Homo-oligomer: A and B are copies of this chain.
Amino acid sequence: MEPVPITVTKMKDTPPTTIRDVARKAKVGVGTVSRVLNDNPSVSEKTREKVLTAIEELDYTPNPIARQLSVGRTLTIGIILPYLTLPSYIERLRGVQHVLASSEYDLVIFCVDDPAQKNAYFQDLSRKSRVDGMLIVSLPPDDFQADYFTRSGIPTVLIDSDHSKLCCVVADDIEGGRMATRYLIELGHRKIAYLTDYLETPFHPAMSYRYQGYRSALEEVEIPYNPDYFMQGERDRESARALAKKLLSLDDPPSAVFAASDARALGILEAAQEMKIKVPSELSVIGYDAIRESAYYNLTTIDQSLFDSGVMGTQMLFDLLTNRAQPPCKKHVPLKLLARSTTAPPP
């Protein structure tokens, strides 16, 4: 139908304008053109004018790759993160993005779908795509991999995972678990259930730390641990709902549930609703993460500052890049209990 746009094809074959073309046109040396491009003050106003005119006339655009090669920096940072399904990853990504937007750095993302890919990225990344620095979200490297990062000389920051040799930004998950449990205890609960991931095959260990916090808070006030109140399952809402139903059908059901993630907590709320159990008067529910949706349901939860963790990680990476910091170093993101309306004293 439409005529093939010949001009486009022609343009592609035109050799691109280089800095030497500009220099020739402006009758100056390439060095001078380069100085103009980089706002070097030692260029006279007259010459600068000439060069700018030539640039304009030739519609010249400097080639960033060539620049990168000669200055040795790519002005790019990479981020490795799990497949973008969970809101928590996205929230952290947004934090990273927020800091980068006001910098001159670009962000290239590597999504990890499966463990094999994780290893591939971890061990082979710098070969294919040179970045000035690297952020890794929620994916703990093993010793060998950590060593690779150190050795490769690429500044690296872990967000939401931990390694003694690297810089990292983590939440104190033990403390978070303790915080949530203590809050329920303070409200007067003693029958407190815990709903979590499978601990034995942890995707990453945060869940088991939260569990430790839970156990320790119980011990503090000498509430005996009741294995019936401990449930493991998939990380999605659906399976949490099923588990919660089992839990609430016990002969002696808990008066409060601590869910290791908000997604699960929402599943519990639904189970309660279906079983006509009133929240919070008959059952208290506390979540973990403070995802956006949690606000919407007025879920009491532990806010682990997801967005801020992205911000902090990126700033830490900048500190590494400018030699204001040296690995290893470790920062904790602040934890905050958001007491909303799914928790109350027991009946």
Chain A: residues with CB nearer than 8 A to chain B? 2, 4-5, 8-9, 11-12, 61-66, 68-69, 74-76, 83-85, 90, 93-94, 97, 101, 104, 106-111, 113, 117, 126-130, 150-153, 237-238, 296, 326-328
Contact = CB atoms under 8 A, between A and B. Distances in A.
B150 A108 contact: no
B326 A296 contact: no
A110 B106 CA distance: 8
Contacts of A117: 101
Contacts of A326: 4-5, 8-9
Given A8-B150, A130-B63, A328 B2 contact: yes
Contacts of A69: 63, 65-66, 69
Contacts of A64: 127-130
A214 to B, nearest CB: 27
B5 A327 contact: yes
B101 A113 contact: yes
B106 A128 contact: yes
Given A5-B327, A83-B94, 20 more contacts: A8-B153, A8-B327, A12-B153, A61-B126, A61-B127, A63-B130, A64-B127, A64-B129, A64-B130, A65-B130, A75-B129, A84-B97, A90-B90, A94-B111, A101-B113, A101-B117, A106-B110, A106-B129, A108-B108, A108-B109
A8 B154 CA distance: 10
Contacts of A109: 97, 107-109
A311 to B, nearest CB: 14
Nearest to A164: B2
A5 B146 CA distance: 15
A93 B84 contact: yes
A154 to B, nearest CB: 10
Contacts of A151: 11
A56 to B, nearest CB: 14
Contacts of A90: 84, 90
Nearest to A129: B106
A129 B62 CA distance: 10
A131 to B, nearest CB: 9
A199 B45 CA distance: 50
